[in-house]
Amino acid sequence: MSVEFSFLLVQALSGLASASSLFIIASGLTLVFGVTRIVNFAHGSFYMLGAYVAVTIVPWLLQIERSPTLFFAGVLISACVVGVLGVLMEILLLRRIYKVPELFQLLATFGVVLMVQDAVLKIWGPLDIPGPRAPGLRHGVMILDQRFPAYELFLIAAGPVVLGLLWLLMHKTRFGILLRAATRDRDMVGALGVNQALLFTGTLFLGAFLAGLGGALQIPRVSASAQMDLSIITEAFVVTVIGGMGSIGGAFLAALLIGQLQAFGVLIFPKITLVLVFLLMALVLVVKPWGLLGRPESAAGHTALPEGIMQPRGFAVAEKLLLLLAVLAAASVPIFGDTYTIKVATEVLIFALAAFSLNFLVGNGGIVSFGHAAYFGLGAYASGLLVTKLGMPMEPALIAAPLAGGFFAALFGFFIVRLQGIYLAMLTLAFAQIAYAVCFQWVEVTGGDNGIVGVWPSAWAASRSAYHYIVLVAAMAGILALRHVIYAPFGASLRAARDSAQRAEAIGIDVRTHRWLGFTIAGAAAGLAGGLYAFSKGSIDPTLLGIPLSVDFLAMILLGGMQTVMGPVLGAAAFHSIKDVFMPLTDHWRFLLGASIIALVLIFPRGLGGAYAALRARFSGGAP
Amino acid sequence: MDSIFFGRRALLAGGAGLAAAAIGRGAAAQGAPIRIGELNSYGRMAAFCIPYRNAMQMAAEQINAAGGVMGGRRLEFVFRDDGSTPGDAVRVAEELLTRENVAFIAGTFLSNVGLAVSDFANQRKRLFFATEPLSDALTMAQGNRYTWRLRPSTFMQTRMLVEAARGKTQKRWAIVAPNYEYGQSAAANFKRLIGGAIPGAEIIAEQYPALGRVDAGATVGALAQARPDAIFNALFGPDLTAFVREGNTRGLFERRFVLSLLTGEPEYMIPLGDESPEGWVVTGYPLDQVEGAEHRAFVEAYRARFNDTPRKGSLLGYVTVQVLANMLNRANSLDNEVLVDTLRDLRSDTVVGNVTMRGIDQQGTMGTWVGETTQRNGQGTMRNARYADGADYMFPEEEVRAARRA
Amino acid sequence: MTLLVVENLNKNFGGVVAARNVSFSLAAGEILAMIGPNGAGKSTSFNMVGGQLRPDSGRVLLAGQDITGLPPRAVCRLGVGRSFQVAQTFLSMSVQENLQMALIAHAGRTRDMLARSSALYRDEALALLDQVGMAKVADRPMGALAYGDVKRVELAIALSGAPRLLLMDEPTAGMAPAERAALMRLVAGIARRSAIGVLFTEHDMDAVFAHADRILVLVRGEIIAAGTPEDVRANPEVQRVYLGTSGLRAALRARAAAHG
């Protein structure tokens, strides 16, 4: 036999070591979600901080004595330091936003990610910092005829030990019992008269501690670098979702699965490790909508006000004037602005359409998509490929963009609309990543990560101003059409299904089909935006389908206010302007962007549109 | 030749250090400054780009202290983060050209960003001096009149390495490379070239871990299982550190010949520290062994100015400014058409010696060093390093013509 | 003719029997109550009729047509309106819009992307609200109503499709006693007037004995007794497992009050 048993054994052990590390990190994430219901993007930042603190503390301790005790003491200290940072985040930020919509919390934690990234660069510098090896565990151990790192054997044991300790904590301590109670039913904890703030602070400590521990334990294997946060966070999310959000046992099972999948996946598909985990997640969610060991969220139906567009009202006279003014301003940019202003204005219009289409799903339909950029990007690819590969002119290629966006939204949406809540959101992410991986990997057609250049408009539309007008017309047509649908029976049906799927079914609405159709329409609109974007940039590449762009879109609708109809347009303009102001100022523009996102969430917890609506209500309410 | 003259003057200023630069500034250069837009991934790829920017600033200061360019005009760089995505970069490029009134643009690190900006420059008919992106496509299939590159491309660096393997007897090769354009094209170039250097060489295993996410245990296990005689590696940064550690512990590199791209560059060598591999044949930058008084003076001036050792990025930044200054002096115009024509086969004397911007593919002949890794005082360095002049490793001319015609 | 016929419905949840051979029938204009202790399988049987649950075996016939396993929306279109234990309405909409939405759905216009939903079926919505005494709050946001009023609006929604059969899962749960009686009187009145069959579950024995024509008693998934309120009250088995003596007294009081 060509593949020996000893090799398979060692490969499986490698998988176990990765699984252990992954579990330790994911257990913290799932814990925090279970108790606070916050999707904590900053968990990856805690992991990174754990590694950075450890590569700072541990070598210093090892100077005293090169002993394993001091090494692991250093690892634990690092984890505690990160735990304290978690507490700080809870007290300074999260505590103020438990009452705001879940998506805002997510956005705020994303702001933290951006800030930590730049802070780490500032404090530790841009070079990767390799940590010291663990004394006493530097060597390799012979397993049959293969050499295997002793440290990884230790890691294999560490995962189950953490699992065991967590079990003890959850079942034998009052804190743990409260954690479990809160995970099952948050209101119950309030009813028990427990100090909820203290419970949440403790949870954040534990969650951040586990992330920090995961990071600190990695230092003998990988060097601390400023990119490690984002590389771990998606994987940690995948583990928690496959396992079932809030289930620690499920996270353990999922980590084992993913560890083995990667260890053996590289043998069979050395090029698709990028997407294997997402394929697995998509598969699991299609078969088990609540993950392996997750519980269905209570099916009793909502009794709380939904987050999203409430009664959409028409424009008041003053607002119509304002709108007219805005359109005139957008139309006159090419007359008064320089080419750069035109470019920025064009982009704002395109993003406004994309953001509007996302809010059509999120705000109006209650369907939270973490992967909306996929349809934007696929639209861009459809246009770009038609122009560069088939030599088509711009006009038909632009028509293909919404068709492509709509087609893939229909394809993916068929599975997506079967799920609910965070699982649905994660499935949108999985499909987006699969689409991303295809664009990234299918080099012959898509040009791989280099993408394709030469996607320029037809001659008559080549000037910046001409193209600006095309975008203005197309984006406005798209936005107004979607807006019309929101006010039409179909849009109302989506809101009805969001408010109460049970009631909607009981009055004869086929909820799933309506959501599917809504998803397709939103995908088509995003595709159109993507096509417009491709021609404005002249190139397409996989970042157009990437998670960062999806997050940007979410940020736009949240900043604008997802409970208002026109808020996303405002949000797109605000978000783009913030980025545009900060980027030229400093290399650390991500820090400023993160800080302003957090500030906006704190000051305008309902977005700019929400703030406007509140202001309007106050003035009209005060009038006789 | 005035380029030599210019080089010496810059050198003098460099030797005198900051004080001279500060005094010389106002006095020496007059007239409207010449502004150049530099966009790069200073945030995301800070390890390479910050030392690069430092050296550019230092070079500009030295040139200005020595009288500037084009008969006394100051050289000014406007630095911008390119956002590390093509979409952001193209917008930033537009901003530099319209708002900052830069004469032309330079920079970019990631290949996809470089290609997008290159196409944008072609559309706007403005010079784009691509400094760092390695993608072969930039000067080959997707090359255009306005895009010029200085740094040796993936093909050139791979070719230098493969030449260094000539005469070896290892036939069974394994490839490990990051899964994106640079890694894929390094692997493709290697597959294409290795047969010429070692007749009968075959590729028996390939691993393409995702960039920044190498699962080192699984990857090393898979490579070892194939029992290769030799390994070609294109991993760098954190992936490289993880790979080397895991490989060392598991004995992957024992009795195996390793060719490794970029590993000898200080950016990637310094983090490896006392775990730097022994005897790998690599491309890199052995700072302590550079030849030529000018080059050594550059290293010293950089150390003095930034209290840090220069990196490969620093050298690239410095040489970039030298070439650009030479171009401006020769062209004596900011008309981008004139600038592009001036660049064609422009020879510049730089700290690494003569660099020619070859006209046919608009690729510079700047080279790099090839040598063996070794350890000295717990730090990785190179031995038997020699400067491989890029001119000897360029794409064959017929191939360029075929690629650029298509 | 018989409006609803339920034959031998069975449902297990992971080995736990929630319904065993449940059979009953209901005539147009008749009010049938389903009672039993918590966990007796009332909601399960109820949801199998409404389409929310698919039975393991057995049949549900509506006016002779087999509707077993049809999804709720299809059951609805065949003329079944229902209310839920925890009232389900569209909280983001106004009271009137809730009714407009229901009417749009019954008209099969939910995929309409051109019309403006707020302009559709305004008068019909008001008429329905008037029927349940809620016309005066038509413009209020649904979320601002007291729970008793929400239940009334839900009843109006359930009636919006002009149903032949009304399914009501604990229609008075969570309401004040005075409101309960009023709501049940309202339901009974509408049912008799329009010859709508009503199947309801209820914990409030006053409501059951006051208005039901017949009563089914479920215990551990099985019907242990069925018949007129008098029959059920007299059934010793029912008294033993469910009603008890105090429950019986309460039931007698309720009967007296309703007819007194």
Q: A314-355: per-residue pLDDT in tens?
A: 788 888 888 899 899 888 888 888 888 898 999 999 999 999
**What is the number of CB-based contacts under 8 A between chain A and chain C?**
125
Helix, strand or coil, per DSSP, at residue A41: coil
| CB-CB under 8 Å, A301 with C117 | no
Any C CB within 8 A of A310 CB: yes
Nearest to A348 by CA among A580, A507, A59: A580
pLDDT surpasses 80 at B166:
yes
Q: Which of C84, C117, C150, C153 to mutate to test the interface with A (most CBs of A within 10 A)?
A: C117
pLDDT, position C253: 62
Instruction: Name the more confident of A315 and B316.
Output: B316
Q: CA quadruple A573, A578, A581, A583: dihedral positive or negative?
A: negative
Backbone angles phi, psi at B356, to 5 degrees: -110, 135
Structure-block tokens of residue A477: 């047509």
For residues A64-69, give the mean pLDDT.
Answer: 90
Structure-block tokens of residue A141: 């151990």
Nearest to B294 by CA among B48, B5, B2, B72: B5
Mean pLDDT over each residue of chain B, to the nearest integer: 89
pLDDT, position C255: 59
Top-ranked range on mean pLDDT: pick from A274-288, B21-35, B196-210, C246-260: B196-210
pLDDT, position C256: 61
For residues B24-43, give the mean pLDDT.
Answer: 75
> Is residue B24 within 8 Å of B64, Cβ to Cβ?
yes
Instruction: Name the more confident of C168 and A314.
Output: C168
| CB-CB under 8 Å, A311 with C105 | no
pLDDT, position B2: 37
Q: A383-433: per-residue pLDDT in tens?
A: 999 999 999 999 999 999 999 999 999 999 999 999 988 889 989 999 999
Å between A516 CA and nearest CA of chain C: 12
> Is residue A590 within 8 Å of A581, Cβ to Cβ?
no
| CB-CB under 8 Å, A489 with C104 | yes
For residues B156-169, give the mean pLDDT.
Answer: 94
Q: Specify whether B122 is located in the same domain as B257.
A: no
* Band of pLDDT at residue B274, cut at 50, 70 and 90: confident
* Band of pLDDT at residue A298, cut at 50, 70 and 90: low
Nearest-CB residue to B81 (from A11, A14, A583) = A583
The vertex-B160 CA angle with B154 and B164, nearest 5°, equals: 140
CATH number for the domain spanning B134: value is 3.40.50.2300
In C, which residues are within 8 Å of A480 by CB distance? none
Taking only residues 572 to 591 of chain A, the set having a beta carbon closer than 8 angstroms to any beta carbon of chain C reads none
pLDDT surpasses 70 at A602:
yes
For residues A196-224, give the mean pLDDT.
Answer: 92
Q: Specify whether B140 is located in the same domain as B160.
A: no
Question: Scanning every residue of chain B, which has its alpha carbon at the shortest distance from the alpha carbon of A14?
Answer: B217
pLDDT, position A559: 86
Backbone angles phi, psi at A367, to 5 degrees: -105, 100
| CB-CB under 8 Å, C86 with A493 | no
Any A CB within 8 A of C46 CB: no
Q: Specify whether B165 is located in the same domain as B275.
A: yes
pLDDT surpasses 70 at B349:
yes
Q: Specify whether B79 is located in the same domain as B181.
A: no
Taking the CB of residue C162, how many other CB atoms lie within 10 A of it? 11
What is the distance between the alpha carbons of residues B105 and B339, in angstroms, rounded to a whole number?
A: 12
For residues A53-82, give the mean pLDDT.
Answer: 95
What is the rounded end-to-end Cα distance, in angstroms, of chain C? Answer: 31
For residues A455-474, give the mean pLDDT.
Answer: 92
pLDDT surpasses 70 at B9:
no
| CB-CB under 8 Å, A487 with C73 | no
Q: Which of A539, A551, A579 to mutate to test the interface with B (most CBs of B within 10 A)?
A: A539
What is the distance between the alpha carbons of residues A55 and A601, in angstroms, rounded to a whole number?
A: 34
Q: Specify whether B400 is located in the same domain as B360.
A: no
| CB-CB under 8 Å, A3 with B115 | no
**What domains can be seen in chain C, in order of their start residue?**
2-79+163-259 (3.40.50.300), 90-161 (no CATH)
Q: C76-130: per-residue pLDDT in tens?
A: 999 999 999 889 999 999 999 999 999 999 999 999 999 999 999 999 999 999 9
Q: A300-318: per-residue pLDDT in tens?
A: 444 566 777 877 777 888 8
pLDDT surpasses 80 at C243:
no
> Rounded to an integer, what is the distance from CA B149 to the centroid of its chain?
9
φ/ψ region of B273 (left if φ > 0, alpha if ψ in -120 to 50, else beta) reads left
Q: Specify whether B375 is located in the same domain as B234.
A: yes
> Is residue A447 within 8 Å of A388, Cβ to Cβ?
no
Nearest to A309 by CA among A613, A86, A48, A531: A613
Q: Specify whether B385 is located in the same domain as B240.
A: yes
For residues B42-50, give the mean pLDDT.
Answer: 86
| CB-CB under 8 Å, A506 with C91 | no
- Out of A105-109, A187-191, A509-513, C39-43, least confident range: A187-191
Give residue B192's domain range.
Answer: 155-288+369-405
* Band of pLDDT at residue C16, cut at 50, 70 and 90: confident
Any A CB within 8 A of B246 CB: yes
Structure-block tokens of residue B324: 């650009």
- Out of A110-114, C112-116, C245-249, least confident range: C245-249
| CB-CB under 8 Å, A306 with C76 | no
Residue type, A321: L
Question: Scanning every residue of chain B, which has its alpha carbon at the shortest distance from the alpha carbon of A142?
Answer: B250
* Band of pLDDT at residue C257, cut at 50, 70 and 90: low
Nearest to A362 by CA among A40, A97, A104: A104
Q: C129-157: per-residue pLDDT in tens?
A: 999 999 999 999 998 999 889 999 999 99
Any A CB within 8 A of C163 CB: no
Residue with tokens 């008084």: B293
Alpha helices by DSSP H, listed for B36-104, are 46-65, 86-98
Q: A567-592: per-residue pLDDT in tens?
A: 899 999 999 888 888 877 777 888 98
| CB-CB under 8 Å, C89 with A500 | yes
Mean pLDDT over each residue of chain A, to the nearest integer: 89
> Is residue A536 within 8 Å of A346, Cβ to Cβ?
yes
Any A CB within 8 A of C82 CB: yes
pLDDT, position B5: 36
Return the percentage of chain B with pLDDT > 70, whole number.
92
Nearest-CB residue to C90 (from A300, A499, A508) = A499
Structure-block tokens of residue A610: 């929400």
Any A CB within 8 A of C93 CB: yes
* Burial call B227-239: b when 16+ CB within 10 Å, e when fewer: ebbbbbbbbbbbb
pLDDT, position B210: 87
| CB-CB under 8 Å, B275 with A11 | no
pLDDT surpasses 60 at A624:
no
Nearest to B68 by CA among B28, B107, B40, B17: B28
What is the distance between the alpha carbons of residues B290 and A156, in angstroms, rounded to a whole number?
A: 46
CB-hemisphere CA count at 13 Å for B76? 16
Any A CB within 8 A of B215 CB: yes
**What domains can be seen in chain A, in order of their start residue?**
5-268 (1.10.3470), 333-622 (1.10.3470)
Q: C226-240: per-residue pLDDT in tens?
A: 999 888 888 888 877
pLDDT surpasses 50 at B25:
no
Residue with tokens 């750069």: A340
For residues C65-78, give the mean pLDDT.
Answer: 92
> Is residue C90 within 8 Å of C98, Cβ to Cβ?
yes
What is the distance between the alpha carbons of residues B214 and B353, in angstroms, rounded to a whole number?
A: 38
Nearest-CB residue to A451 (from B86, B95, B208) = B86
* Band of pLDDT at residue A189, cut at 50, 70 and 90: low
> Is residue B282 within 8 Å of B380, Cβ to Cβ?
no
pLDDT surpasses 90 at B406:
no
Å between A537 CA and nearest CA of chain B: 6
Backbone angles phi, psi at C58, to 5 degrees: 105, 175
Helix, strand or coil, per DSSP, at residue B355: strand
* Band of pLDDT at residue C249, cut at 50, 70 and 90: low
Nearest to A407 by CA among A512, A514, A524, A516: A524
What is the distance between the alpha carbons of residues B197 and B202, in angstroms, rounded to a whole number?
A: 12
- Do C and B share at least 3 CB pairs under 8 Å? no
pLDDT, position A553: 94
Q: Specify whether B84 is located in the same domain as B168.
A: no
Helix, strand or coil, per DSSP, at residue A245: coil
* Band of pLDDT at residue A268, cut at 50, 70 and 90: confident
Q: Specify whether B147 is located in the same domain as B247.
A: no
pLDDT, position C75: 92
Kindly give, in sequence order, each residue whose CB lies less than 8 Å from that of residue C143, ignoring residues fewer than 6 positions away.
A305, C91, C92
Q: B86-104: per-residue pLDDT in tens?
A: 989 999 999 999 989 999 9
| CB-CB under 8 Å, A504 with C115 | no
pLDDT, position B20: 38
* Band of pLDDT at residue C66, cut at 50, 70 and 90: very high
* Band of pLDDT at residue A623, cut at 50, 70 and 90: very low
* Band of pLDDT at residue B76, cut at 50, 70 and 90: very high
Nearest-CB residue to B184 (from A221, A274, A448) = A448
* Band of pLDDT at residue A522, cut at 50, 70 and 90: very high
Q: Specify whether B217 is located in the same domain as B160.
A: yes
Domains in chain B, number: 2
Q: Specify whether B205 is located in the same domain as B343.
A: no
pLDDT surpasses 70 at A622:
no
Å between C102 CA and nearest CA of chain A: 6
Q: CA quadruple B55, B60, B63, B66: dihedral positive or negative?
A: negative
Nearest to A107 by CA among A604, A530, A614, A585: A604
* Band of pLDDT at residue C260, cut at 50, 70 and 90: very low
pLDDT, position A605: 79
| CB-CB under 8 Å, A508 with C76 | yes
Top-ranked range on mean pLDDT: pick from A548-562, A580-594, B335-349: B335-349
Any C CB within 8 A of A215 CB: no
Nearest-CB residue to C88 (from A492, A502, A511) = A502
| CB-CB under 8 Å, A503 with C157 | yes
Any A CB within 8 A of C223 CB: no
Å between A248 CA and nearest CA of chain B: 23
In A, which residues are within 8 Å of C70 by CB distance? none
Taking the CB of residue C13, how many other CB atoms lie within 10 A of it? 11
Nearest-CB residue to A490 (from C72, C84, C113) = C113
| CB-CB under 8 Å, B120 with A126 | no
Nearest-CB residue to A539 (from B119, B137, B241) = B119
pLDDT surpasses 60 at A593:
yes
> Rounded to an integer, what is the distance from CA A236 to the centroid of its chain?
12
What is the distance between the alpha carbons of residues C1 and C63, in angstroms, rounded to a whole number?
A: 8
Helix, strand or coil, per DSSP, at residue B367: coil
Q: Specify whether B51 is located in the same domain as B194.
A: no
Structure-block tokens of residue A48: 């990174």
For residues B337-355, give the mean pLDDT.
Answer: 96
